[in-house]
Structure 1
Amino acid sequence: MFTVHFAVTVAEARPTDFVFVTGSEEGLGSWDPTRALRLEPNEEGVFVGSVNLGDIKQLKFRYFLGYYLYHDATASSLIIRKWETHLSARCVLPAVEATKNGICRAKVNDVFGFHAGRQMLSDGWLIQDPTNAIHLTVTGEALKFYKSKHVCEKYRIKVTPMDLRNRDDTNPLDDDGDDTNDEPATPILSYSPTEIAPLGHDEPYYKLQNEFGEVFTNGTDYAMFRTYSVAVDYLGFKIEVFKATEDKLVAIGYALPSTLLNTYGKTSVPLLTTKGMPVGKIYLEYLFIRPIRTTNLTFSMDRSFIKHWKKRTTLEVGHRGMGNSYTQFAVARENTLHSLNRAAKHGADYVEFDVQLTKDRKPVIYHDFHVMVSVAKRSENEDKHAHQLAIKDLNMDQISLLHLDHVKHQGEGKDLENVTKVTPKALDEAADLQPFPTLEDALLYVDADVGFNVELKFPMIQADGIHECENYFEYNEFLDVILAAVFQNAKNRRIVFSSFCPDICMMIAAKQNKYPVLFLCCGSNTRHQVYQDIRTTTSLMAVNFAAASGILGVNFHSEDVLRDATPIAKAKQYGLISFVWGDELNNKDTVEYFKKVVGVDGVIYDRIGEMNPRASVFSLERAKKSELFGKKQPPSPVGGRANSAMHLFHRNSESNGTIEKFENDAYNVMNAYDKRHNGAVEWPIASKGPSRRRSPTAEDLERYFVASHGLIDGYMPRPLDTAARQA
């Protein structure tokens, strides 16, 4: 029996925050945050707690911050505000580290978010209904006043959530004395404080609002407000507009549930003076994000890749597999199982492809939102009349039976000699050559060693005012179907999500806690249609958006960053990952420029490995690892007493087999550690006698402890008395 103590210093805990620890044992909730151990602050302000565990060899754990919101006077939901997202969780070896009395970590003080020499914290995800994350956006010419005396260049805007069941004591207009019996005796805290991300500022991260709001320049600024609620049916917002230079209220407005009709949209809210006279209005965009609603799909805290990116050589990604085949020449039909597998065979590290939904809600792989449908039978001798239809209006059976063509293949004078048709001419083509494979089939039948960059196609309004595909699926419904297909079939495959739609990127990050997200940016370019949303048309704004949203990084358009690579430099400054996509990358010299001069993390291009054969970095790493550790190791010696921690392990173990397993584990971990830090690849060899591994010394075991706990450069947790002296 062991007693493991936890102590953690939290620098930025809010008054409503609780500190939790969850981990690999039932006493810590088995990685379920709703069953985690809650820590309590001691006199020095350090959050402490302990748990009694059985005879375990290893305990892994993470800390997180959370708070509770209440649906009514009794029922509540946990909201995860921040959690540690290092790839490897914290680790303790009770059999090695415990005292004679079985006490472990009694004098160790961790620092929240700091582990293995790195600070890594992420926003939580939505873990249970009825929790919603609500985003309000104020951008462009958002404020309009009727009288010139109220018109200014800059204002300050404050957005405050309200539960309409509560009385608003700050509002003099809320003076109805007859409704007191309907009001709860104690106000229901069903919402969180509002945070704001000012994307036009140098520090775009979410933060709590100031008392008199945040400065907003009408016409140029972009402000995202965020709050959480567990009672959206009663949720409203009070919007206050102050003068920029003084704490004087100019106008006030109320966004009520009737104003926010759907889960997303645009609305205008009337602005009134304190006497109730109309003075103007404010335009808002809103988005409600709810937890994923798929049966038997839950997320735990044991492992997360949302902020993990191993620094290595630039990854090379096959665009739509082997490349765009419908408007350019490619060796295989784009976005098919054959094309994806061929790219993997040619050494692609990842393959990129586009996913959208059919009418019967099947995730299929296809780039464009529309196809041309021929109403005649498949015959070369009959006239065919083509009509443009959206993929969302066709079910899978119709897609497989109809004669389909690409929307750009229509019209006279089209040079179609070197492009591939959507529907194959030969009806007996192999299944892997067929268009519209399902996402599930791609996950099951494409080489498991190649990573997937899954681009989620969600229509947006173009700069020319044309909507890419109107009356599309609801945001949450769309994402739930695709995420369910990924999590049910991905297994151990490397996955990165991406989208041109910034709201989709935010929602992916809010709905799951395992896979990272890249924001696709158009930037300023002449080759492709751009969008009205400034977050994707300006590369610097895209960087700020990615930093504020806490996603992995940005996928830039090559034409834009070839002119000016400043956005990539800024992304690195924020610790973001940078990918690049675009036709310019079909030139080998451009690829080398981005890899070796700019130093991006990934490049996406057509016809990968066709002219210059390559092997994927993952296969090379695996081969190198096999070469290093593939040889059978000699047996571990059992005679003699080891020193220090090894002696303690012998004393607490019942069999030599356990000791040998410990030494083998230590051998494997130390090899990896030495490879990174000292260049050694072998366990120390005894200086005399037959060539075999010697028993580890105290120094060896200290290095093993450091490596197995994910610690580097000699960093060790601070003892409690040090924290107390600094408090």
Structure 2
Amino acid sequence: MATEQRCTLYFTVKVDNICASEYVYVTGSIPELGEWIPSKALKLVQSKQASEEWTGSIEVGSAPVQFRYFICYFLESGKPSSPKEIVISKWETFLYPRLVLPAVESICGKCRAHVVDTFGHNAGKDLVSDGWLCTENQNEILLRIRGTPFNFFKERYSTRLYAIKVSPFDLRHREAGSIEEDDPEDIQDSYNLPTLPSYSNTYLAILSNDDDPFYHEQLPYGKKFNVEEDYFVFRTRTVAVQFLGFWIELFTVNDEAKTNTPERFATAYALPASFPNTFGECTIPLLSKTNRPVGQLLVDYLVVKPLLKPHPQQTMALSYTRHWKKRKTLEVGHRGMGNSYTKVAAGRENTIQSLNAAAEKGADFVEFDVQLSKDKIPVIFHDFHVLISVAKRSSSTVNLSSKESSSDFHEMAVKDLKLKQLQLLRLDHLNATSELSRQVGLLKVTDDLDGEVTERSPFPTLVEALRKVDSSVGFNVEVKYPMMQKNGLHECENYFEHNEYLDLILSEVLTYAGDRRIVFSSFDPDICILLAAKQNKYPVLFLCVGVTTRYEPFVDVRASTSNAAVNLAASIGILGVNFHSEDLLRDPAPLHRANAFGLISFVWGDDLDNKAHKDYFKNVLLVDGVIYDRIGEVERRRNVFLVEREAKSALFRKTISPSTSRTVCLEDTNSLSDNSASSSSNISPTHSPRINSSVLSPITPPPHICRQMSNGM
């Protein structure tokens, strides 16, 4: 047997704007590159000749090698026997990784010796994403300062302009600039301190800045805060939350004296370990330079934990988080075949039967709502509350002429009922007792004659949907989470903790989704933030109500307007925004802003029941997806993914002969399955060059690439 020829494979990548504590790695499809696991990747070395270039090399055989570059840094918790942890800053998220063919490209035992890649750019595309929380000890801390956060004890302080800066520090270290004398006990404990930091730099995003809502490094003297206008978000990652502190500085701003150095006016300290929850508000004292209290600062906070429930290992092999294949507008079945509790419908909404019916009618995706039951099982249901029918106590006499019902309805939250109770109790919609419901004959949540659980029954579990609904139809999984409304009412108080709630849903999707197309969405901005930070596979859309007269608006300013929704989506690097039709029909400008930021746009709303409105969004505004009721009932349609698959198969039957090289098959498949740029680029991709079959023996694409070619978003 002939010995496989081996060669040296070189990697050189140009990276701009890298921090001093960051490193560049390459991971890929072979063991030498870690098989897509970041912690096992190959570390590159910074070039002495060109500091922006990072280089490395490995010995490989003749088989194809796929790879991606990523930027990372390391943190250390300081716990005994706890290793340093890799934290991913940025990574390349092209649908198709970089590809090298050593059997063809090797010259005199060297491959890619003079090739210089550019980080985040490949085959005409530019696509880089933030890293996810890839180890169980990593946490992301967000501090939000917004609106009117200052409460000064003296009126004259309230009229000044201030710049804000937030700096992280480790409570085990003496604070830089401290005037306190060293504590002998601190010196004795110094051997326990980690050699690396336990936290990252703190970056600032100004969501109120329509031109630049992205995260950036902070300025030495902070950023000016405009009271009642600005929304500042400070972001830090840490592997030791219990030892993390934030030093918040307020500098006086004098716009007329721009050459003068700003003067520190007050400071405050925030300790995440002292926060009562992982989400909320806290008021912290502002101290003058002489440590006298001068006021208070109101801070919102969110603690993002990694995905801790069982799930398949997340690697860098494949990511759809920022990928979107440009095509005609996708059509999405709202709750399957449509709303059935406040509109007339042929079948009950959010059931297996309704979802499959939409698939049979040609829906490209189906949208449904997911929340948890009391026993923490993800179930599909839209409303946070239901009416429970409770039999009245019988009296000693019976009035046969009375029309009064023999039962009463009591409102209960879905979260307070176990799955078995949801499936067996007589339940009704909140509007069931209204006169309109009686006149029109709207469907009940459960029928009086319901017995065993069937595909027509309400409250199917998420796992049932993933297993029983036609796999050709994609899922738009709306993650429900209650929010405070402007009328002072909360949608559902005392709800589950954000992280555990979302972990239970993500665990099931990552475990059971298989090759199904998945898009997450939520009206809650923080759920969108968690979805982006906890997993690296599926895209996320921020659901937006915007300016509306139909629904009670939310208090959260990030969800108050469509423009604010665009800023949030751009800031946290998710796929896009799911706009409300009512708002875009009034003013489509937010959609154009979303396009300018490279975001994908979906539209939902009752206006889409009108065909003229639906055609306007599809053919004039050219949105990427429309979500509406009763899909396929008025106009016959077919699932676009099935149509594309059939066209691809027909093309192969016409063009491929038995003697054709598999290499040609790989090339043609790539050109068909990804014939447009991703969501962040309008440049058409460059196809792989044709390779002479006489030079290269047939190549079989790796299994996950075969799945990509047939299941691109």
State TM-score, norm by structure 2: 0.89
Counterpart amino acid of 1:34?
S
Counterpart amino acid of 2:599?
L
Counterpart amino acid of 1:346?
K
Counterpart amino acid of 2:202?
T
- Mean Cα displacement is larger for which, 68-77 or 592-601? 68-77
Query: What is residue 308 of structure 1 aligned with on the other side?
Result: 323
Q: Which of residues 395, 399, 419 in structure 2 aligns to 1:396?
A: 419
Query: What is residue 691 of structure 1 aligned with on the other side?
Result: none
Query: What is residue 218 of structure 1 aligned with on the other side?
Result: 227
Deviations 1:554-580 (A, max 9, x none): 011111111111100000000001111
Q: Describe how 1:414-563 pairs up with structure 2 within 5 A.
A: 414-428=437-451, 431-563=454-586
Number of matched residues? 666
Tell whether the 8 Å contact from 2:342 to 2:437 is kept in structure 1 after alignment: no
Secondary structure of the equivalent of 1:615? coil
Q: Describe how 1:278-677 pairs up with structure 2 within 5 A.
A: 278-376=293-391, 383-411=406-434, 414-428=437-451, 431-631=454-654, 633-636=656-659, 660-662=661-663, 665=666
Query: What is residue 400 of structure 2 aligned with on the other side?
Result: none
Shift of 1:416: 4.8
Query: What is residue 175 of structure 1 aligned with on the other side?
Result: 181
Query: What is residue 105 of structure 2 aligned with on the other side?
Result: 97
Structure 2 Cα separation of the partners of residues 75 and 349 of structure 1: 46
Query: What is residue 190 of structure 2 aligned with on the other side?
Result: 184
Shift of 1:72: 1.1
Structure 1 Cα separation of the partners of residues 349 and 692 of structure 2: 57
Secondary structure of the equivalent of 2:331? strand
Shift of 1:3: 1.7
Shift of 1:628: 0.6
Structure 1 Cα separation of the partners of residues 337 and 669 of structure 2: 38
Structure 1 Cα separation of the partners of residues 675 and 249 of structure 2: 59
Tell whether the 8 Å contact from 1:58 to 1:92 is kept in structure 2 after alignment: yes
Shift of 1:264: 1.3
Query: What is residue 240 of structure 1 aligned with on the other side?
Result: 249
Query: What is residue 80 of structure 1 aligned with on the other side?
Result: 88
Counterpart amino acid of 1:234?
F
Deviations 1:643-686 (A, max 9, x none): xxxxxxxxxxxxxxxxx5446545656788999999xx9x99xx
Structure 2 Cα separation of the partners of residues 142 and 674 of structure 1: 49
Counterpart amino acid of 2:468?
Y
**Shift in CA distance, 672/260, structure 1 to aligned 2, threshold 3 Å:** closer
Counterpart amino acid of 1:162?
F
Shift of 1:41: 0.9
Structure 2 Cα separation of the partners of residues 325 and 597 of structure 1: 30
**Shift in CA distance, 663/311, structure 1 to aligned 2, threshold 3 Å:** closer
Q: Is the aligned partner of 1:64 residue 2:87?
A: no
Shift of 1:57: 2.0
Structure 2 Cα separation of the partners of residues 584 and 50 of structure 1: 57
**Shift in CA distance, 661/546, structure 1 to aligned 2, threshold 3 Å:** closer
**Shift in CA distance, 154/317, structure 1 to aligned 2, threshold 3 Å:** farther
Counterpart amino acid of 1:181?
I
Secondary structure of the equivalent of 1:331? coil
Structure 2 Cα separation of the partners of residues 543 and 667 of structure 1: 36
Structure 2 Cα separation of the partners of residues 199 and 150 of structure 1: 25
Structure 1 Cα separation of the partners of residues 215 and 671 of structure 2: 40
Q: Is the aligned partner of 1:123 residue 2:136?
A: no
Q: Is the aligned partner of 1:52 residue 2:59?
A: yes
Shift of 1:490: 0.4
Structure 2 Cα separation of the partners of residues 189 and 674 of structure 1: 44
Q: Describe how 1:33-48 pairs up with structure 2 within 5 A.
A: 33-43=38-48, 44-45=50-51, 46-48=53-55
Secondary structure of the equivalent of 2:407? coil
Structure 2 Cα separation of the partners of residues 127 and 6 of structure 1: 24
Query: What is residue 284 of structure 2 aligned with on the other side?
Result: 269
Counterpart amino acid of 2:233?
M
Structure 2 Cα separation of the partners of residues 150 and 295 of structure 1: 52
Tell whether the 8 Å contact from 1:150 to 1:250 is kept in structure 2 after alignment: no
Tell whether the 8 Å contact from 1:7 to 1:110 is kept in structure 2 after alignment: yes
**Shift in CA distance, 672/155, structure 1 to aligned 2, threshold 3 Å:** closer
Q: Percent identity?
A: 47
Shift of 1:183: 4.8
Tell whether the 8 Å contact from 1:409 to 1:416 is kept in structure 2 after alignment: no
Shift of 1:387: 1.1
Structure 2 Cα separation of the partners of residues 110 and 587 of structure 1: 50
Shift of 1:296: 4.8
Shift of 1:415: 3.5
Q: Is the aligned partner of 1:204 residue 2:213?
A: yes
Secondary structure of the equivalent of 1:398? helix
**Shift in CA distance, 238/527, structure 1 to aligned 2, threshold 3 Å:** same
Query: What is residue 721 of structure 1 aligned with on the other side?
Result: none
Structure 2 Cα separation of the partners of residues 617 and 513 of structure 1: 25
Deviations 1:579-623 (A, max 9, x none): 111111110000000111111111111111111111121121112
Structure 1 Cα separation of the partners of residues 671 and 454 of structure 2: 47
Tell whether the 8 Å contact from 1:17 to 1:65 is kept in structure 2 after alignment: yes
Counterpart amino acid of 2:322?
K
Deviations 1:458-500 (A, max 9, x none): 1111111211111111111001100011011100000000000
**Shift in CA distance, 84/674, structure 1 to aligned 2, threshold 3 Å:** closer
Tell whether the 8 Å contact from 1:153 to 1:218 is kept in structure 2 after alignment: no
Q: Is the aligned partner of 1:146 residue 2:153?
A: yes
- Mean Cα displacement is larger for which, 498-507 or 145-154? 145-154
State TM-score, norm by structure 1: 0.87
Counterpart amino acid of 1:498?
S
Deviations 1:259-302 (A, max 9, x none): 41221111011000010100011111111111111235320000
Deviations 1:274-333 (A, max 9, x none): 101000111111111111112353200001000000000011111111111001111211
**Shift in CA distance, 382/167, structure 1 to aligned 2, threshold 3 Å:** same
Q: Is the aligned partner of 1:11 residue 2:16?
A: yes
Structure 1 Cα separation of the partners of residues 406 and 675 of structure 2: 71
Tell whether the 8 Å contact from 2:91 to 2:120 is kept in structure 1 after alignment: yes
**Shift in CA distance, 127/667, structure 1 to aligned 2, threshold 3 Å:** closer
**Shift in CA distance, 162/375, structure 1 to aligned 2, threshold 3 Å:** same
**Shift in CA distance, 416/161, structure 1 to aligned 2, threshold 3 Å:** farther
Shift of 1:181: 2.4
- Mean Cα displacement is larger for which, 413-422 or 313-322? 413-422
Deviations 1:351-397 (A, max 9, x none): 100000001110000000011111239x9997112111111111111
Secondary structure of the equivalent of 1:293? coil
Secondary structure of the equivalent of 1:82? strand
Counterpart amino acid of 2:221?
F
- Mean Cα displacement is larger for which, 480-489 or 66-75? 66-75
Secondary structure of the equivalent of 1:485? helix
- Mean Cα displacement is larger for which, 184-193 or 16-25? 184-193
**Shift in CA distance, 228/669, structure 1 to aligned 2, threshold 3 Å:** closer
Structure 2 Cα separation of the partners of residues 673 and 191 of structure 1: 39
